[in-house]
Structure 1
Amino acid sequence: MKGFLEWFKASSKMKRWMFTILVGVILACYGLAEILVMKELSFLEVGKIIAIFVVGFTLIVLGIVFMQKRTLEILVEASDRRMEDKKNVNLKSLIFNKKVYSEGPNIVVIGGGSGLNTVLSGLKNYTSNLTAIVAVSDYGKEMSSARRELNLLPLEDIKESMIALSDHSEMLEKLLNTKFTRGRLENLSFDDIYFAAMRNISKDFSDAIEKSNQIFSIVGKVLPVTLDEMKICAELDNGMIVEEKDRISEVVSNKVTKINRVYIQPSNCKATNEVIEAIKKADSIIIGPGSLYTNVIPNLLVNGVAKAIKESKALKIYVSNIMTEPGQTDNYGVSDHIEAILEHAGQGIIDYCIYDTGEVVPEFIKKYNLEGADLVEQDIQKAKNKGIQLIQRNLSYIQGEFIRHNPDAVAAAIIDLICDDLKYQDRQNDPQYLMLKAKLDYEKKMKKIPKNKKAKEKREKNKEKGRQSKFISKYGKRIETIKNTDQIKKANMRIMQEADKLEESEREAFLKSIEEGKK
């Protein structure tokens, strides 16, 4: 009975066809009744009755046909939660999307943190053949006694990737992040207990993750880069060694010293066979965005990963960060990010770099400036000298008070590049290209993904300063003004604090000397 009542909901779009069938039955019955009841009928009356019967019968047939069609749409729609535009759902588009997803390109995404999840959530609208490769490394925080008792591996990035790829992301996020606050389970989350249980009923940890991909209705799959417990370490310019992932950002945040290199312990951590196989089969390999030294590079240091990427014939794409990270990538440009990856993993790891030229109102950057972060410099010419093709796209958008990568824009830029590569291979008549291109055009139309606008600058400026993004050229002076204003405020505050420590007569002389110095 409950299932039957579901048909009468507005979202089912069934009532209109039920009403059509009802009207058809009434008209058909009326026509039959007239023929059976009336003893004598004129030619005109017979024609009228036949017309009513035919109209009624036609309405019954149409109602049944469209009810069946809508039933199929509901079934297909229920099996694919990725359809966001429910108003324009039809059987043809649903079946087409299913075909696109199943025959989409094999894409491997390597990274960690929110940057990886952004790429995954955007790409799952184009293909089901997704593989997320993440490091099995937590943030070095002290393990609770409960976690130690369960002998849990650090699974933060794996959990977040599963949430991003799930058909029920919001519900899964609430479930896995539910924390227990009392008893022996205090400070444990549901995901800790779940993965501990899955490991007990599975052959090994990798098998537990694979089964979880199915249980959580994951689009594609999530793979740990290694089954060894890996520690991420950093060597700083001053010779200091930091052996905990979360402490790396803490130590360098004062900007006294910089990161010289990162490495993993043990150094002989071996990539799983599934990871190597996924890289070999990939049509495209995406690296980043994400924390350069703690999320992106460590995955490439695991034995076998960098070598497999270099030997792969897939498109190797690096998605650059929008903002720098305080202490870790201060004053870094696009070329510096690329150089850091190449220094750690070697040449041949990147073919293309997608970087942001989106416009963001400068006031949003103020929050980042106060924390020591800034926009990643668009030093395009230096990056080109490294033999890497650069693609500029409007990737940024505002989420609350934060500047983030737009999942739809990042995914569209990647798929656009894959389509161009298929076209270059003279495969523009292949079903994969045709379907992928049609899906890309549809997504751009429905979500209004910002199109790339070429910066209009004079040739003299290009030669002298190098090519700048539209955002920098338009808002550069405004950003500098905001930064200078904040610096002046901080400087004045320090002066007043120093003045408060002096005697009254000394204070006046001190402030007077400061004023004369400014003049």
Structure 2
Amino acid sequence: MRKPRITVIGGGTGIPVILKSLRDKQVDITAIVTVADDGGSSGEIRQALQVTPPGDLRNVLLALSDMPKLYEQIFQYRFADSDGALAGHPLGNLLIAGISEMQGSTYNAMQLLTKFFHTTGKIYPSSDNALTLHAVFTDGFEVVGESKIAKHKGMIDHVYVTNSYNEEEPTASRKVVESIMESDMIVLGPGSLFTSILPNLVISEISQALRETKAQVTYVCNIMTQRGETEFFSDADHVKVLNEHLGQKFIDTVLVNIEPVSKEYMDINQFDEYLVQVKHDFLGLQDQAKRVISSNFLNLEKGGAFHDGDLVVDELLKIIEVRT
């Protein structure tokens, strides 16, 4: 029997948690990764070389690879602050950027690197061009650039993307639409709603594919609200924003963590962007999605509240088993 096909869409540090747990399961995995990051090392590299930002791709590559611990440490090594032009850059970011330039595209680079690092699944940038994220706030003010969005006080009305280095309409990278259409399940998140998940979904080809796919679309709702993005949001608010951006209720299932997070536990110095636990609105969720699964998906670690990848994946596989 063929393996179930699961495509995970997002970026940041959220989806690697899910991908690590999926890696050991009997599933065919595809990761579609955002290319709108313009901060930190990724932002400097994309500006200098006009390539897609490598940071989120680096994290996904590590999550799906069986590379020995020493290789991982080399790949993740970050140059010291005293290292001049290289200061703060992870070696893996430079490697991805260099191979992207050598191969002529980030798509080609990732196909080479997935073989080199023996990854379990396939990794596709959502677009082969670096994208610029635009956020339009409810007061009409527009912020340009993913790294600047959280600095503007107010509620985001909607986001959209443009190509960073040409005037053409943003397009999906090769195989992305095909993967969405041929999947048994699409997993959105976990991750920053406006800056990790939506930058992929607002590419017109991807949004159209998500509206048309017969795959089970599952959203893993965030555990904590995020400063400058989802302050005061309930779980239903998260799903409503996704549906509004695609113009229809396309989410089939929402996974919601109901295990409480103690305010005293969170390390506000290390995780200052995360504010309070997302409020529950189950009536609102039932209006926005076909099914809601609420359970303990919590992993408390190093002063932060994260998803437990194994618990989430166990639930995802139950959904697929019922569906197939």
TM-score after normalising by structure 2: 0.88
Alignment correspondent of 2:241: 340
Counterpart of 2:192 (choices 288, 291, 304) is 291
Q: How does 1:243-254 map to 2 (within 5 A)?
A: 243-252=144-153
**Residues 1:124 and 2:16 aligned together:** no
Letter in 2 for 1:292: L
Counterpart of 1:395 (choices 297, 314, 319) is 297
Q: Measured at CA, do residues 260 and 104 of structure 1 come closer, stay the same or move farther in structure 2, by a change above 3 Å? A: same
**Residues 1:268 and 2:268 aligned together:** no
CA drift at 1:376: 1.1
CA drift at 1:184: 5.7
CA drift at 1:179: 3.3
Alignment correspondent of 2:253: 352
Letter in 2 for 1:382: G
Q: Measured at CA, do residues 172 and 278 of structure 1 come closer, stay the same or move farther in structure 2, by a change above 3 Å? A: farther
Q: Measured at CA, do residues 394 and 211 of structure 1 come closer, stay the same or move farther in structure 2, by a change above 3 Å? A: same
- Secondary structure at the counterpart of residue 239 of structure 2: helix
CA drift at 1:152: 4.0
Q: Measured at CA, do residues 143 and 299 of structure 1 come closer, stay the same or move farther in structure 2, by a change above 3 Å? A: closer
Letter in 2 for 1:210: Q
CA drift at 1:294: 0.5
Letter in 1 for 2:305: I
Q: How does 1:125-274 map to 2 (within 5 A)?
A: 125-141=24-40, 150-168=49-67, 170-181=69-80, 182=83, 185-202=86-103, 204-252=105-153, 257-266=154-163, 268-274=169-175
CA drift at 1:417: 1.0
**Residues 1:109 and 2:8 aligned together:** yes
Distance, in Å, in 1 between the alignment partners of 2:230 and 2:193 is 8
CA drift at 1:170: 4.2
Alignment correspondent of 1:373: 275
- 8 Å contact from structure 1 (residues 232, 298) kept in 2: yes
Whichever structure has more strand as a proportion of its residues is 2
Deviations 1:42-90 (A, max 9, x none): xxxxxxxxxxxxxxxxxxxxxxxxxxxxxxxxxxxxxxxxxxxxxxxxx
- 8 Å contact from structure 1 (residues 166, 218) kept in 2: yes
CA drift at 1:149: 5.2
Distance, in Å, in 2 between the alignment partners of 1:224 and 1:146 is 16
- 8 Å contact from structure 2 (residues 254, 291) kept in 1: yes
Q: Measured at CA, do residues 195 and 362 of structure 1 come closer, stay the same or move farther in structure 2, by a change above 3 Å? A: closer
- 8 Å contact from structure 2 (residues 251, 288) kept in 1: no
- Secondary structure at the counterpart of residue 373 of structure 1: strand
- Secondary structure at the counterpart of residue 113 of structure 1: coil
Q: Measured at CA, do residues 261 and 145 of structure 1 come closer, stay the same or move farther in structure 2, by a change above 3 Å? A: closer
**Residues 1:407 and 2:304 aligned together:** no
CA drift at 1:220: 0.3
Q: Measured at CA, do residues 301 and 172 of structure 1 come closer, stay the same or move farther in structure 2, by a change above 3 Å? A: farther
- 8 Å contact from structure 1 (residues 136, 153) kept in 2: yes
Task: Name which of structure 1's ranges 287-296 and 238-247 shifts more when overlaid on structure 2.
Answer: 238-247
Letter in 2 for 1:417: I
Deviations 1:11-31 (A, max 9, x none): xxxxxxxxxxxxxxxxxxxxx
CA drift at 1:377: 1.3
**Residues 1:317 and 2:226 aligned together:** no
Q: Measured at CA, do residues 203 and 289 of structure 1 come closer, stay the same or move farther in structure 2, by a change above 3 Å? A: same
Q: Measured at CA, do residues 135 and 143 of structure 1 come closer, stay the same or move farther in structure 2, by a change above 3 Å? A: closer
Distance, in Å, in 2 between the alignment partners of 1:193 and 1:322 is 32
Distance, in Å, in 1 between the alignment partners of 2:7 and 2:274 is 33
**Residues 1:386 and 2:288 aligned together:** yes
The structure having more radius of gyration, on CA atoms, is 1
CA drift at 1:306: 1.3
Q: Measured at CA, do residues 186 and 312 of structure 1 come closer, stay the same or move farther in structure 2, by a change above 3 Å? A: same
CA drift at 1:189: 3.4
Task: Name which of structure 1's ranges 296-305 and 169-178 shifts more when overlaid on structure 2.
Answer: 169-178
Work out the percentage of aligned pairs sharing the same amino acid: 28
Letter in 2 for 1:377: K
Q: Measured at CA, do residues 372 and 103 of structure 1 come closer, stay the same or move farther in structure 2, by a change above 3 Å? A: closer
CA drift at 1:191: 2.2
- 8 Å contact from structure 1 (residues 152, 192) kept in 2: no
Letter in 2 for 1:229: A
Unaligned regions of 5+ residues in structure 2, if any?
none
- 8 Å contact from structure 2 (residues 32, 123) kept in 1: yes
Distance, in Å, in 2 between the alignment partners of 1:405 and 1:180 is 29
Alignment correspondent of 2:231: 330
- Secondary structure at the counterpart of residue 385 of structure 1: helix
Distance, in Å, in 2 between the alignment partners of 1:144 and 1:300 is 21
Letter in 2 for 1:398: L
Distance, in Å, in 2 between the alignment partners of 1:116 and 1:192 is 18
- 8 Å contact from structure 1 (residues 179, 187) kept in 2: yes
Aligned Cα RMSD in Å? 2.6
